[in-house]
A = this chain, B = another copy of it.
Amino acid sequence: MAGVSVATVSYVLNGTAPISDKTREKVERIIRETGYRSNMLAKSLRTNESRLIGILVEDITVWHTPQIIDGINEIAERQGYHTILSNLRLMSKIASRFEDISNYQEDIDREVDMLAGMQVDGIIYVGMHDRMLPEMISDIGKPVVYCYCYPMGRGSSVRYDNEEVLYQLTGLMLKKGYRRFGVIGGLEGSEPAALRLKGFQRAMKEAGIEVPPENVLCGGWNYKEGRETAGKLLDRKDFPQIIMAMNDEMAVGVYDAATELGLKIPEDVAVTGFDHAAIAQHISPELVTVERPLQAMGYHAMELLTEQISGREEENQDIILPCRIIPGASVRADGYR
């Protein structure tokens, strides 16, 4: 249309060769008038680089997933990458939290095949729980970064530090003078549950305080069990001065159990949570809890990935990010006693 060769148009488009002003203008006018758009598919056919990265999520409806995706997107945008999303939708497929994910190898293969077919430059896998995954992503010759989970074999990972933050939080509570602790842990067998408990126990051990085993119970991560468990902890004469629930949903259960027993928070019993979840946003008093670096996990995952794509970074790295403690009034400001 402009009376020039396709090569000339390509050079105008990319500025990869000197072009006379006359020609450039002519070509640019035609481009505007016709609304021409370059076909990225054809482009990456030659270059074998798509500037596309695949995000493979176990389930997009799980609260942390969109936050992480958002973080990935921010860096991707900045670095000129685009993302293609594959959603395994495991929440609606999986029977139990502990069902072996290998049962979904086929689904994963299908999605990975398609991402590889799209010539993605790399893949970020976002888990629904933080746990170790068996080798499920077949080698497509491109780097893979795991986020909110970590691989048994090849691949990097980005997670947050469950143990450390609970160690800190517990330390803070000890400093406030609390001595008789109750813990409502997560689901038996869940890794973050174990790590958080470990952080707690480490702080207690260092403080030289023995925690009676009947004060450390499991709450199954949910409101109902959290409430029941809190009931058990509080319905004794020597009930804990503070209950550390390992997530906010259970902490809400603790609030309700306390209210039921006529106990005031934080005067009679203090409470802490974990997650900084919507569910506990407006309970009163404000819950002391832990904010996870979800967006930041996305940043780091994407940065790690691009560094591996460009070969600047080695393949097997694990990044563990710190969490932030959110203050609140569910613990006495002036300290205990």
Contact = CB atoms under 8 A, between A and B. Distances in A.
B41 A282 contact: no
Contacts of A35: 138-139
A256 interface: yes
Contact of A69 (B77, B87, B256): B87
Interface string A99-136: 00000000000000110111100000000000000000
A253 B116 CA distance: 49
A95 interface: no
Interface of A: 35, 37-42, 44-45, 50, 55, 59-61, 65-67, 69-70, 73-74, 77, 82-87, 89, 113-114, 116-119, 138-140, 223, 249, 252-253, 256, 277-279, 281-282, 284
Contacts of A70: 59-61, 87, 89
A40 B117 contact: yes
Copies in the complex: 2
B278 A119 contact: no
Given A60-B70, A61-B66, A41 B37 contact: no
Contact of A37 (B42, B74, B116): B116
A149 to B, nearest CB: 18
A309 to B, nearest CB: 17
Nearest to A82: B114
Contact of A85 (B55, B277, B282): B55
B281 A223 contact: yes
A279 B66 CA distance: 18
B60 A50 contact: no
A83 B82 contact: no
- Name the residue in A39, A138, A249 with the highest tally of chain B Cβ atoms < 10 Å from its Cβ: A39
A253 B281 CA distance: 11
Contacts of A113: 37
10 contacts: A39-B117, A40-B114, A41-B50, A45-B45, A60-B69, A60-B70, A61-B66, A69-B85, A82-B86, A83-B87
Contacts of A74: 89
B41 A118 contact: yes
A223 B283 CA distance: 11
A249 B283 CA distance: 11
Nearest to A255: B282
Contact of A118 (B40, B77, B252): B40
B41 A119 contact: yes
A121 to B, nearest CB: 13
Contact of A89 (B37, B73, B86, B277): B73
Contacts of A86: 82-83
Contacts of A253: 282
Given A65-B66, A87-B70, A282 B223 contact: yes
Contact of A117 (B37, B73, B252): B37
